[in-house]
Each structure stands twice: as structure tokens, then as C-alpha cells.
Structure 1
Amino acid sequence: MSSGIGVHDDSLKAFNELKLGGGKKDSANYVIYRINDDKTEIIVEKKGRAADYDEFVELLPENECRYACYDFDYELAGGAGKRAKLIFYTWAPDTTPIRHKMVYASSRDALRRALNGVAVDIQGADYSEVDYDTVLSKVTLGKS
């Protein structure tokens, strides 16, 4: 199902900068997207560098849908080294009006297909579904 909502060029540019930044200290480690007020395009709402994962999660609004990408850093079991994976989030809180959720659900694929290099997809309707341990288990098991 497609909503006819497009992806703004800046949305792709921000994702490519995130992907190419690859964990560099001064580069962004997240991008949060929203649908513009005219409901015609998916645009960048904000991008930047969160100090840690919890700070990133706090940027997701309590009552509004968003899409996001995050450069997720984690330790391998047994101290076998560090890894990073790009994660795509579809954030649709239970408290969001159903019409708003439907627009985001029907527009998701337009953005997701354009983002090459995402390792894991996470859908969250509650903060517990996007907490660090939940996401880590999906990343390390390769499930989305």
C-alpha cells in the first residue's frame, strides 16, 4: 500500500551522511524523519549526535509517529570486539491517533526502500520496544 508521499532529497542525503560517518566522533549518529505538514514528503526533522542510545530514544515523541535511523554500537559477547549496525525505526506510539498511524504505515516503504545499508528494522509502539536490550537482542540475532 502506498500513500503517494515522496521522500525529500535531504532525507536521503542525511541518511548517506549518517552511513558514511561510520561512528566518527563528530559525525551524526541519528536522523529522525517526519511527514511534512502538507503530507507530500518525508523530511528530516532532526539529525545529530546523541551521547548514548537512551538520549536518542528520548528524542522520539511520546504521541506522534516518526521514522528514524540510528548507528547502533554494541559489544560482541565475550568481549570479542565492537560492532555497529544501521537500524531503521518505525515509531508509532499507541497514543497516536489512528489516522496519523495509517499515513505513516502506508508511507514507510517509500523511505525504507530508499535507504540502502540498513541492517535491522525495528517497529515500536512503546518505549519498551525500542529500549537498548530489546534492540540489542534483535541486532545480535539478526531478526527484525
Structure 2
Amino acid sequence: MASSGVTVAPECIQAFNDLKLGKSVKWIIFKISDDWKEIVVDEQSTEDDYSTFREKLLNAKSTWKGKEGLGGRYAVYDVAYDSGEGQRNKIAFISWVPDDSPQHPRMMYSSSKESIKRSLNGFHADIQANDADDIEYDNIIQRVSRR
């Protein structure tokens, strides 16, 4: 359990294992539930379309005290790239907490990050993203190919 008290739903671990074991899932977006008590699967896809994935992160919303605003998300993406020695795949974990999100969602996503990271074993890069440039495709490729 994170210092925020937010737990990770078993469905998150199952979805991640499906992605990791190559069962056709390409990316998963997780969110903190509307009652702010549990991390759940928000959306997943079998399509290898980074631009759609990125747009979903950029447009994510959270509701706090009846007001909707930009919200954080956690995500994993199975990144395929050419290493110069052939095709490689590495899983990137992305913590998306936009700087212009309201204070409560920013705080909850930041303080719950370790809980989901500990639950998802087997990603290769841990990316903290706070603005749109951080989740540009080229930046993600650069981060996963370092290792």
C-alpha cells in the first residue's frame, strides 16, 4: 500500500502480465478510481498506435470535489524500436502527472506511484512525465534504448 492508502486492483497486474507475456496487448493506461481508493485499468489496446496512446494520456481527466480537470495516469507501453542490431521490444512505465493538474490529483498520483511500480514486475524504463514533450515518441524511444 502506498503512503496515500491507494491500493492496486488485481486486474492491473493481470493486464500487465498479458502485455509482458506477449498476449497481444500493446499498451495499458491505469487510473486512480473515482473514489480515490484503488488503481484500476482505465483502458488497454492491442493496436500499436503511439499517437492514440499519447492523446489518451494528454486528455485524461480526473474529478475532485465535483470539478473535472486534467488528471494523472500511469501507463505501460510495449515499445518496439530498431537498436541498430535488430528489432527490440522494451516495456516503458510512464507516470503521467501534468504540471497543470489540480493539486489533489497531482499529489495522489505522485504518492501512489511506488505502489503500482512494485506490483508490475518487468518493465525496462521508468519515465516521469509532466508535460507533453516528456511523452513524445522520440523521447520514449531514447529512454528505453539506453539500457
**TM-score, scaled relative to structure 1:** 0.89
> What CA deviation, in whole Å up to 9, does each residue of 1:101-125 have, x standing for no partner?
0011001111001111010011111
SS at match of 1:67: strand
Contact 2:92 2:125 survives alignment (8 Å): yes
Name the residue aligned to 1:81: 86
Determine the C-alpha separation between the residues in 2 that align with 1:141 and 1:69: 17
| Residue type at the aligned position of 1:66 | R
Q: Which has the higher strand share?
A: 2
Determine the C-alpha separation between the residues in 2 that align with 1:110 and 1:29: 22
Name the residue aligned to 1:32: 29
Matched residue count: 136
Tell me if 1:55 matches 2:52: yes
SS at match of 2:142: helix
RMSD: 1.4
Q: Which moved more, 1:130-139 or 1:83-92?
A: 130-139
**TM-score, scaled relative to structure 2:** 0.87
| Residue type at the aligned position of 1:52 | D
Q: What is the CA distance between 1:49 and its match in structure 2?
A: 2.1
- For structure 2, list consecutive stretches of 5 or more residues without a partner in the other structure: 60-69
SS at match of 1:11: helix
Q: What is the CA distance between 1:61 and its match in structure 2?
A: 3.5
